[in-house]
């Protein structure tokens, strides 16, 4: 094993993280190679800095003015050079401050600094690399983002163990989670939860978040080592009073020394910059020291260095400027209101179809989506909607139809839902 990897593992010894790491996670380190050496040179090389693979001129990057002019006067240094492997330090700091502001439970809880990833997909993939071995089980509620299959099953050869997302009463099926944990062999439990959920659009109530936390703490108390990743892609889009407005990460980051919580989030949807490819990973575990957080950050940096090397500099700069601008808060509120009004319109329209059994909406209170349980073939209906009405939807497991009402203007929502019910009647008659 590389000596730096060994040092990081020594630092982590005694924490749940140490026992949760995969083989790759244990071997992972951030080399004292080009990036580290050029970092050192940046501070100390006062004569010539001939370290990094960039072209420079008079201390700044060489760049093409035809590209620079598109950036509206931004300093070339903030656009063209590589970003640090873990991301722009100012952006990492601001993301953390915002996270604590939005999740007051995190106040005074020691956490790692968020590490910048190339979007949330990349973040999930890194956590899979660091914590899942071939043959390991990852627990996921049965309504999940399809890309998890590629990440966990295809890339990591892990096995997905699912449980029903909802009880018959339409509440979060916490007992179902307990049953899967009970049947899991070994001491290592890995779980990913995604709220607001894709595809159902559901987020737990505060009582459900508490109950979920209590359950995991119970197993941690019994000696299980538990990794919980929260995929907070749609964080903040909560439309109902009773919905829990904080990430489950905020409940788990300081819950028990046998629980390692990882918050995966991204500017992608939270800041409405889908194409920027900026995401974040933040670690929280009760009793973890600053050095242990730093060791996890270093392993994450190794995973970044060996996959995408570092993430987009201009995207990070634009995000930082936007998030610190005066109009930011009001603009975010306006975007929230736009989506929230669409949610209200969907709910209102569905009242007309309360007794219709062809398409039954699953519980939804947040995010971009809602999903129907279909009486007939969801795939047949999807194709029928596309061919007959020019309406695009997503069919899942031939049973569920997912509607991204986030991408339909409010004035078209009633017509969209009327057409969905008409089409279901026609397609399945
Ligand atoms: C649940 C969930 N996680 C992660 C992502 C990916 O986010 P990103 O575009 O930042 O990789 C998505 C996007 O569709 C998603 O729905």
| 339 and 422 together in one domain | yes
pLDDT surpassing 90 at residue 184? no
75 pLDDT more than 90: yes
> Do the domain assignments include residue 42?
no
**Mean per-residue pLDDT, 96-118:** 98
**Contact between 358 and 386 (Cβ < 8 Å):** no
Q: Which atom of ligand 1 is nearest to the CA of 278?
A: 10
Predicted confidence (pLDDT) at residue 34 exceeds the cutoff of 90:
no
Last residue of a domain, one of 293, 323, 353: 323
Which of 198, 232, 307, 308 gets mutated to test ligand 1 (max ligand atoms within 8 A of its CB)?
Answer: 198
Q: What is the pLDDT of residue 185?
A: 82
What DSSP element (H or E) covers 65?
helix 65-68
CB 153 within 8 A of CB 160: yes
Sorted by sequence, the CB contacts under 8 Å of residue 4 that are 6+ apart come out as 29, 30, 31, 32, 298
Nearest residue CA, atom 3 of ligand 1? Answer: 233
Angle (deg, nearest 10), helices 290-305 and 3-12: 140
- Domain membership of residue 75 (yes or no) is no
Binned at pLDDT 50, 70 and 90, residue 50 comes out as confident
Q: Which of 268, 312, 315 to mutate to test the pocket of ligand 1 (most atoms within 8 A of CB)?
A: 268
The alpha carbon of 148 and the centre of ligand 1 are apart by a number of angstroms equal to 10
Count the helices and strands in the chain (H runs, E runs).
17, 13
Give the predicted TM-score (pTM) of the model: 0.96
CATH code of the domain in which 375 resides: 3.90.1150.10
Instruction: Please give the average per-residue pLDDT across 123-148, as a whole number.
Output: 97
Residue 78 lies in a domain: no
Kindly report, residue by residue over 373-391, the tens digit of the pLDDT: 999 999 999 999 999 999 9
**Atom 13 (ligand 1): residue with closest C-alpha?**
233
pLDDT of residue 49: 86
Token reading at 3: 């000596």
Angle between helices 120-131 and 290-305 (to 10 degrees): 110
Tell me, yes or no, whether 134 and 229 share the same domain: yes
374 part of a folded domain: yes
Query: What is the per-residue pLDDT across 290-327, written as a single tens digit (0 to 9) for each?
Result: 999 999 999 999 999 999 999 999 999 999 999 999 99
Residue 409, pLDDT above cutoff 90: yes
**The residue count for the chain:** 429
Going from the Cα of 30 to the center of ligand 1, the distance in angstroms, rounded, reads 26
Task: Tell me if 195 sits within 8 A of 229, measured CB to CB.
Answer: no
Contact 400, 371 (CB under 8 A): yes
Going by alpha carbons, the residue nearest to atom 16 of ligand 1 is 198
Instruction: Give residue 108's region: left, alpha or beta (phi > 0; psi -120 to 50).
Output: left
Please state the rounded mean pLDDT for residues 52-61.
88
pLDDT-derived band at 48 (thresholds 50, 70, 90) equals confident
Name the domain boundary from 297, 323, 349.
Answer: 323
**Same domain, yes or no: 296 and 374:** no
Structure tokens at 301: 């940096």
Mean pLDDT in the chain? 96
Distance 321 CA to ligand 1 centre (A): 23
322-368 tens-digit pLDDT: 999 999 999 999 999 999 999 999 999 999 999 999 999 999 999 99
Q: How far is the CA of 409 from the centre of ligand 1 (A)?
A: 22
Does residue 101 carry a pLDDT above 90?
A: yes
- Per-residue model confidence (pLDDT) at position 37: 85
From 200, 269, 279, give the residue whose CB has the most ligand 1 atoms within 8 Å, as the site to mutate: 269
Confidence band, pLDDT 50/70/90 cuts, at residue 275: very high
Residue 406 structural domain: 328-427
315 and 179 assigned to the same domain? yes
- Distance from C-alpha of 244 to C-alpha of 300, rounded to nearest angstrom: 29
Residue 168, class by beta-carbon neighbours within 10 Å (0-12 exposed, 13-18 middle, 19+ buried)? exposed
% of the chain beyond a pLDDT of 90: 92
Instruction: Among 145, 279, 366, name the best residue to mutate to test ligand 1's pocket (greatest count of ligand atoms within 8 A of Cβ).
Output: 145
Model confidence over 136-183: pLDDT tens digits? 999 999 999 999 999 999 999 999 999 999 999 999 999 999 999 999
Quick one: 128 and 255 in the same domain? yes
Residue 194 banded pLDDT, cuts 50, 70, 90:
very high
Label each residue of 368-382 as H, E or C: CCEEEEECCCHHHHH
311 and 337 inside one domain: no
Same domain, 26 and 118: yes
273 and 381, same domain (yes or no): no
For residue 105, give the DSSP letter: G
With bands split at pLDDT 50, 70 and 90, how would you rate the model's confidence at 42? confident
Asked if 121 and 244 sit in the same domain, the reply is: yes
52 part of a folded domain: no
CATH number of the CATH domain containing 281: 3.40.640.10
Residue 35 falls inside a structural domain = no
- Whether 317 and 333 map to the same domain: the answer is no
Instruction: Calculate how far, in angstroms, residue 316's C-alpha sits from the geometric centre of ligand 1.
Output: 18
Ligand 1-lining residues (CB < 6 angstroms): 119-121, 145, 194, 198, 231, 233, 266, 268, 279
32 band by pLDDT with thresholds 50, 70 and 90: confident
Residues 113 and 163 in one domain: yes
How many domains is the chain partitioned into structurally?
A: 2
- Return the ligand 1 atom nearest residue 121 CA: 11
Preceding amide of 196 cis, omega within 30: yes
Q: How remote is the CA of residue 234 from the centroid of ligand 1, in Å?
A: 8
Asked if residue 178 is part of any domain, the answer here is: yes
Last residue within a domain, chosen from 272, 297, 323 = 323
Could you tell me if residue 149 is inside a domain? yes
Cα three-residue angle 19-25-26, rounded to 5 degrees: 65
Q: What is the pLDDT of residue 43?
A: 87
């Amino acid at each position: 094993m590389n000596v730096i990897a060994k040092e990081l593992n020594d630092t982590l010894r005694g924490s749940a993280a140490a026992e949760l790491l995969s083989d790759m996670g244990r071997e992972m380190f951030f080399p004292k190679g080009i990036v580290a050496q050029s970092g050192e040179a940046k501070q100390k090389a006062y004569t010539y800095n001939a370290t990094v693979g960039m072209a420079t001129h008079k201390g700044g990057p060489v760049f093409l003015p035809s590209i620079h002019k598109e950036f509206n006067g931004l300093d070339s240094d903030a656009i063209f050079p590589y970003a640090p492997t873990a991301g722009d330090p100012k952006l990492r700091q601001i993301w953390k401050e915002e996270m604590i502001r939005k999740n007051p439970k995190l106040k005074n809880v020691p956490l790692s600094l968020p590490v910048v990833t190339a979007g949330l997909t990349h973040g999930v993939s890194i956590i899979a690399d660091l914590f899942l071995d071939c043959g390991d089980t990852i627990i996921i509620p049965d309504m999940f983002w399809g890309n998890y299959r590629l990440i966990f099953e295809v890339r990591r050869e892990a096995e997905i163990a699912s449980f029903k997302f909802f009880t018959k009463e339409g509440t979060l099926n916490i007992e179902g989670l307990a049953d899967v944990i009970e049947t899991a062999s070994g001491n290592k439990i890995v779980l990913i939860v995604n709220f607001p959920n894709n595809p159902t659009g559901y987020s737990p109530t505060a009582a459900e978040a508490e109950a979920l936390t209590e359950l995991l703490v119970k197993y941690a108390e019994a000696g299980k080592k538990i990794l919980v990743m929260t995929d907070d892609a749609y964080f903040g889009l909560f439309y109902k009073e009773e919905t829990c407005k904080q990430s489950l990460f905020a409940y788990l980051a300081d819950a028990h020394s046998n629980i390692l919580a990882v918050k995966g989030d991204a500017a992608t949807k939270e800041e409405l910059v889908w194409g920027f490819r900026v995401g974040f990973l933040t670690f929280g575990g009760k009793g973890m020291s600053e050095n242990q957080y730093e060791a996890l950050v270093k392993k994450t940096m190794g995973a970044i260095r060996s996959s995408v090397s570092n993430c987009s500099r201009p995207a990070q700069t634009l995000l930082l400027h936007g998030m610190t601008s005066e109009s930011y808060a009001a603009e975010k509120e306006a975007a929230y209101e736009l989506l929230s009004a669409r949610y209200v319109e969907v709910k209102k329209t569905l009242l007309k179809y309360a007794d219709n059994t062809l398409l039954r909406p699953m519980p939804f209170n947040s995010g971009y989506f809602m999903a129907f349980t279909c009486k007939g073939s969801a795939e047949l209906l999807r194709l029928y909607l596309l061919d007959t009405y020019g309406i695009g939807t997503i069919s899942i497991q031939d049973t569920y139809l997912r509607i991204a009402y986030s991408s339909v203007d409010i004035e078209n929502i009633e017509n969209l839902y009327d057409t969905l019910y008409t089409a279901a009647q026609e397609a399945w008659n």
